[in-house]
Amino acid sequence: MDHLVLTTEADWQRLTDRLVLDDLHVGQRFTSMSHVVDTDQIKRFAAEFDPQPFHLDEDAAANSLFAGLVASGWHTAALTMRLLVTGGVPIAGGIVGAGGEIAWPRPTRPGDELQVVSEVTEISPSRTKPDKGIVILRNETRNQRGEVVQVLTATLLVPRKPQASTCPSNPTREDVVAGTNTHERNAFSLPGHRHD
């Protein structure tokens, strides 16, 4: 599978065949479904999480840096996650991120239809555990004009095919911390909680 494009949630439901690390390759791409953002969604998210005038009030926003109402960058990030999780990137065990880099080259505005295009840029099997590894996924969130509103370069924990181990599991975060990969510094550590 070089470039997965799902067009309905039903496609996604049928896709029972989730990917493990061994199924991925650098350059592999995925395109999510799309989501239209409206004024109500923007104001509702902002009221709860980012109550600043340029996200809440059209008149105040018109006189701001943005020259109009814009979504919180964290709203764009949250919607990007929804698109990844509901059809964007079908990883076995779910999308478990340890962190990443985020940039908002331009804001999301009311009426924008967002879609995420993801590309595998790096794959690092764990040095110490045969059943997991780290994948770097670069996710561009684009509006209906193809303009990029967010770039998220995410560090994901991804399970591997069962190898010597008789008990495959999701990655644990200690593995990652214990590893030598340069991205592993960002990863979770859950002291006192080991799965293997």
Query: Judged by CB under 8 A, which of 43, 129, 160, 173 binds a second copy?
Result: 173
Q: How far apart are CA 113 and CA 159, in angstroms?
A: 32
- State whether residue 159 is helix, strand or coil: strand
Query: Residues 6 or more apart from 51 whose CB is under 8 A from it?
Result: none
Q: What is the dihedral of CA 62, 67, 69, 72, to 10 degrees?
A: -130
- Closer Cβ to a second copy, 27 or 111, answer by number: 111
Under the binding rule (CB under 8 A), the answer on residue 20 touching a second copy is no
* Residue 186 binds a second copy (CB under 8 A): yes
Among 12, 23, 34, 66, binds a second copy (CB under 8 A): 66
Residue 172 as a binder of a second copy (CB under 8 A): the answer is: yes
Indicate the length of the chain as a whole number.
Answer: 196
Tell the residue number behind the tokens 């040095």, with chain if given: 127
Residue 104: count of CB within 10 angstroms of its CB: 19
If binding is defined by CB under 8 A, does position 178 make contact with a second copy? Answer: no
Position 34 contacts a second copy (CB under 8 A) = no
Binding mask 99-118 for a second copy (x = CB under 8 A): xxxxxxxxx-----------
Binding-site member from 49, 127, 163, 182 for a second copy (CB under 8 A): 49
Q: How far is CA 68 from CA 57, 71, 176, in A?
A: 9, 10, 43
Residue (31 or 72) nearer to a second copy, CB: 72
Of 9, 30, 151, 28, which Cα lies nearest the Cα of 80? 151
Segment lying near a second copy (by CB under 8 A), choices 13-21, 24-32, 65-73, 114-122:
65-73
For residue 84, report the phi and psi dihedrals to the nearest 5 degrees: -65, -40
Binding status of residue 56 toward a second copy by CB under 8 A: no
Q: What does the binding site for a second copy look like in residue numbers (CB under 8 A)?
A: 45, 48-54, 64-67, 72-75, 77-79, 81-82, 85-86, 93-107, 151, 157, 170-173, 186, 188-190, 193, 195
